[in-house]
Amino acid sequence: MKYMIMMFAGLGAATETRTPEWIAGMHELLMKLDGELREAGELVASERLLDPSLATTVRFRDGAPLPTDGPFAEVKESLAGYWLVEVSEERAVEIASQVVVYTEYPMEVRRVMDMSPEL
């Protein structure tokens, strides 16, 4: 089954109070996990996302879509990146847990909806 593992971080605050050593360690951990997932054939896709301040929000206002600059939602934490993996739920939670232990930021593990035609 496919799972999306989503990493969340504080808006602009994810690293501003962290030491350069902590940031380097986080980067090293994420690159190590990414490499392990690729090598194991578990990784379907992964991407990092730019800061949400560079996002465009499209809302429905006055009967029409209205694009505006800025974060996509009024939240303290936003999506920073993701892994799409093909693994068991237990393995997906294990992957997310490795990052949470280091960063202390939440990660969401969500199963991807299977849209294959029924036989």
What integer pLDDT is reported at residue 55 of this predicted model? 79
Please state the rounded mean pLDDT for residues 96-107: 89
In a domain, 104, yes or no: yes
pLDDT greater than 70 at residue 11: no
Residue 21's pLDDT band (boundaries 50, 70, 90)? very high
In a domain, 59, yes or no: no
pTM of the predicted protein model: 0.79
What integer pLDDT is reported at residue 105 of this predicted model? 83
pLDDT greater than 60 at residue 112: yes
What integer pLDDT is reported at residue 77 of this predicted model? 64
What integer pLDDT is reported at residue 2 of this predicted model? 95
Reference 8, options 87, 113, 104; nearest CA is 104
- CATH code for position 101: 3.30.70.1060
Write out the residue range of the structural domain in which residue 45 sits.
2-51+78-111
What integer pLDDT is reported at residue 104 of this predicted model? 84
In a domain, 64, yes or no: no
In a domain, 116, yes or no: no
pLDDT greater than 80 at residue 81: yes
In a domain, 65, yes or no: no
In a domain, 118, yes or no: no
| Structure token digits, residue 106 | 């939440």
Please state the rounded mean pLDDT for residues 49-62: 81
- For the ranges 33-42, 62-71, 108-117, the lowest mean pLDDT is seen at 62-71
The count of domains in the chain is: 1
In a domain, 71, yes or no: no
